[in-house]
Amino acid sequence: MLPGGILNSANGAKIPRITRVAILLITRGLLLVFRAIPAPIWALIFLFVFFPGILPRAIALGLYTLGVLGRLMAEVIENLDERPLRALRVQVVSGACLRNS
């Protein structure tokens, strides 16, 4: 849905709008949950699933970091300037026109 994204309808995606919005909301929700729960709480949750050791701590830090980095990447993508993308599309279209003639 964002400029240049795989869910953008301008890219020829045949995905209905409601499905694209649902995918966007689900991924944002998951990133929010991963980021909202602190790493020690994640470690405690995984401690009940796995045996004590480094594995629960590593998974907890990984999930928490995934939430933080995912949110930062989402902000960067939302604030992208569309002008370079449009310029590339124009060049591809003009290049295709020159090859066809």
d(CA 50, CA 60): 12
Query: b/e map of 51-84 (b: 16 or more CB within 10 Å)?
Result: eeeeebbebbeebbeebeebeeeeeeeeeeeeee
Say how many CA atoms lie within 13 Å of 47 toward its Cβ.
11
- The whole-number pLDDT of residue 69 equals 92
pLDDT profile of the chain (101 residues), mean per 10 = 56 70 86 89 87 87 91 83 80 66 56
- The whole-number pLDDT of residue 50 equals 84
Phi, psi of 50, rounded to the nearest 5 degrees: -105, 170
The domain ranges of the chain are 9-100
The answer to whether the CB of 2 falls within 8 A of the CB of 24 is no
Q: Which among 31, 34, 55 has a CA at the least distance from the CA of 43?
A: 55
pTM of the model: 0.64
- The whole-number pLDDT of residue 65 equals 92
- The whole-number pLDDT of residue 17 equals 74
- The whole-number pLDDT of residue 11 equals 54
